[in-house]
Structure 1
Amino acid sequence: MKVKLLSSVTALLLTTQIHAASAAPTPSYMMPLAEKAVLTDLIRVNDQLFVAVGDRGHVLVSKDSSHWTQIQTPVQSLFTSVYFSDDKHGWAVGHDATIIATQDGGQSWQLQQFKPETDKPLFDILFADANNGIALGAYGMFYRTTDGGKSWSDEFHLELVGTEEQEYLKELQETDPEAYLDERSSVLPHFNRIYQHNNVLYIIGEAGFFATSSDFGKSWTRHPQFYNGSLFGLAMTAKNTLIAAGLRGNVFRSTDLGQSWQEVQHGQSSTLNSVLTDADTIYLTGNAGTLLVSQDDGVSFTSVPTQDSKAILNAVAVKDQLVLVTEAGIRTLAIKKPE
């Protein structure tokens, strides 16, 4: 979850074993210590269902966020993201442009897409309901489904390309259609995260890429770059403030829905992987065991000690603790709520 930095997850996993792509998928191995392996994302589906995903096709489920059970999947691809539209319907995406799905709350998973020939990972997935979803990833990969993932169609949105490149592509499409298709497959930056708030979709990615859509991704507005590095995490706070975080610990805050951004200084330089909002608290998770907390709507952040220096890829808040997915598996950390 490559020839250059695609995401913080990718950078971390360059030090782990990545299975070579094959023509046919191989089911994941059932491992006795799967909850201690590299895990990259997790979701709280409801109070009695938590799902985590990670390396080697690992999917783990839990009823209480403390005891985890591995579920076999159809592939050994590294999963990078998991999403549920309701208590039963969920999807996970990852390397080899892989998409798997469940219709029974994570108890079994079916393969919907596997394209090792692309040699590209998907980084995130989002569904509006049980039928309509978007998956995206490296080099602007963008897939859409309207039937719950029974079929996925590849989309290219010219409006997401820079102005100069747009003109070049239009000319190339007329003069050399084959070269146009080749160029189209690499002209866009990596899409690292897709996020929805109300009826607006947000995409962040490589080189400060930031775009929004108000029609579930049928059309997009690409906004001016406010940072020249990669962004990996984005979330809206309870006070409608957008928080974006990414490479080298950079954090940005917007109080006008992304029209303008202010950099937030906090003294940490580790790459930040995710943004979690819980009531009036914001958590940023990152490499080297980095955990930053804000209780003033992202105006300032305080560093919180964690167990070790293992990279934290994501987290969910459960009562008085954070459940973390890390490069060393699932960890829990007690948190103090404000009085």
Structure 2
Amino acid sequence: MKFKFLSGLSLICTLWPALAETSIKPQSAYLLPHAEKSVLTDLVRVSADMLVAAGERGHILLSSDGKSWQQSPTPLQSSLNSVYFVNPNHGWAVGHDASIIASTDGGKSWQLQQFLPELDKPLFDVFFTDEQHGFAVGAYGLFYRTKDGGQSWQQEFHAELANADDQAMLAELKDSDPEGYQAELSSVLPHINRVFANKERLVMVGEAGFWAVSTDGGTSWQRQPEFYNGSLFSVSQSAQNTLFAVGLRGNAFRSSDNGQSWQQIALSSPATLNSVVAADGLVWLFGNSGVIFKSQDDGQSFQLIPQTEGKAVLNGITVGKDLVLATEVGIKTVQQVVSQ
């Protein structure tokens, strides 16, 4: 599992069956002898004894210990950007070609649920509240929802996610030029990069300082005032209810009042940050050029973990005293760095 007001302008369009809408047919991923050394973009813990990583060319990898990895067969070669398991059996992965694949056996096998290469837009993240209800998000406000475990997916256009000026323009177009309204919807909505859930609400972040919250499981969203004008790539929350958001050029922020105000975190590297993970009393930042930061005081200060190999780190989790990382050169382990 990942630890990632509906206005009158919202429009829902049914696009199922998505697999039948393209003349380009998906091809199964190649099973490679060293897939654990390929570009990997996400890594999650599914259960106490199972980790799942996802990455380029449709690769899905499984491990019980973070050391030995096996590739699972998948039905496509599209690069995957995110993987999410709602319980130890049921998981989904999303990526390029607006693709969605699903597993019901803990990641051992995967079924194709959506593949739209002619759309030419990637999905960046996926989240489920239970085995039946979930959504996937991506470029240009791409938003698909399912209420039946992914047997069908419906596209939604959440116009309330646009900025104030664009919302006013959309409201005018909706009455005067319905065709122009639908065309503009797909161009003015922001890229949505990551979703995070806590007990009370969902938070998602994206380009140009975009962030929004939902208190009804993602059915409706409320765009929040920007606290930074660059792209945000990840968001998380600590056990102390401190929110963290990270993005371009080493920009990192924390909020101790549920997002009402944000403070920039001073870091010793300007590398772009890809993920923030708050777990077990520690806060980790993972970024380009091999950058890893660790905080033991709820993000008030961060220590840079020295790395000899300056490859981008996309995500990471702790296994015992070690960090297991998804990087641009595959799985990497940093030993004996997890301590209070």
Partner AA of 1:90 in structure 2: G
Q: Which residue matches 1:126?
A: 127
Match of 1:167 in 2: 168
Does residue 71 of structure 1 match 2:72?
A: yes
Report the alpha carbon displacement of residue 285 of structure 1 after superposing the two structures with TM. Answer: 0.3
CA separation in 2, counterparts of 1:338 and 1:88?
A: 30
How far apart are the structure 2 equivalents of 1:200 and 1:337?
29
- In 1, Cα distance between equivalents of 2:308 and 2:169: 51
Unaligned runs of 5+ in 1: 1-20
Structural mapping, 1:227-246, within 5 Å: 227-246=228-247
Q: Which residue of 1 aligns with 2:188?
A: 187
CA distance in 2, matches of 1:336, 1:315: 13
Q: Runs of 4+ in structure 1 displaced over 6 angstroms? A: none
Give the Å deviation of 1:277: 1.5
| 1:238 partner letter | A
- Tell me the residue number matched to 1:12: none
**Is the partner of 2:311 in helix, strand or coil?**
coil
Task: Give how far 1:162 is off.
Answer: 1.4
Give the C-alpha shift of residue 109 in structure 1: 0.2
CA deviation digits over 1:215-271, x for unaligned, max 9?
011111111000000011111112110011110000100001111100011121000
Aligned partners of 2:223 and 2:29: how far apart in 1? 38
Q: TM-score, normalised by structure 1?
A: 0.92
RMSD over equivalenced CA pairs, Å? 1.2
**Correspondence list, 1:1-339, <5 A:** 23-338=24-339
Separation in 2 of the partners of 1:166 and 1:191?
A: 17
- Give the drift of 1:158: 2.0
Deviation readout 1:161-196 (Å, 9 max, x if unpaired): 112211211211222222211110011110000110
Give me the whole-angstrom Cα distance separating, in 2, the residues matched to 1:267 and 1:336: 18
Following TM superposition, by how much is the alpha carbon of 1:72 offset from its aligned partner in structure 2, in angstroms? Answer: 1.3
Provide the C-alpha distance between the structure 1 equivalents of 2:114 and 2:339, rounded to a whole number of angstroms: 45
Q: Is the 8 A contact 1:22 1:116 kept in 2?
A: no
| Aligned mates of 1:336, 1:116 — CA distance in 2 | 41
Distance 1:287 1:22 in 2: 37
What is the CA deviation profile of residues 16-65 of structure 1, one whole-angstrom value per residue up to 9, with x for unaligned ones? Answer: xxxxx971111101111100000000110111111101000101111111
Q: CA deviation at 1:316?
A: 0.6
Aligned residues: 319
Alpha-carbon distance in structure 1 between the residues aligned to 2:239 and 2:336: 19
Identity of aligned residues (%): 54
Deviation track 1:121-148 (CA, whole Å, cap 9, x = no partner) reads 0000011011110100000001111111
Equivalent AA in structure 2 for residue 60 of structure 1: L
Q: CA deviation at 1:338?
A: 3.9
Deviation of 1:337 (Å)? 4.0
8 Å CA contact 2:234–2:274 kept in 1: the answer is yes
Mapped to 2, the partners of 1:336 and 1:278 lie a distance apart of 14
Indicate if the aligned counterparts of 2:39 and 2:327 stay in contact, CA closer than 8 A: yes
3-state SS of 1:243 partner: strand
State the distance in 2 between where 1:211 and 1:333 align. 34
CA contact (8 A) 2:159 2:189 kept: no
Query: Mind listing any 5+ residue stretches in structure 2 that lack a counterpart?
Result: 1-21
**Greater RCO, 1 or 2 (C-alpha within 8 Å, sep 6+):** 2
1:23 and 1:116 in contact (8 A); partners too = yes
**Contact residue 138 and residue 190 of structure 1 kept, 8 A:** yes
After superposing the two structures, state which structure 1 stretch, 196-205 or 170-179, moved more: 170-179
For residues 23 and 310 of structure 1, what CA distance do their matches in structure 2 show?
33
d(CA) in 1 for partners of 2:162 and 2:295?
34
Amino acid at match of 1:327: E
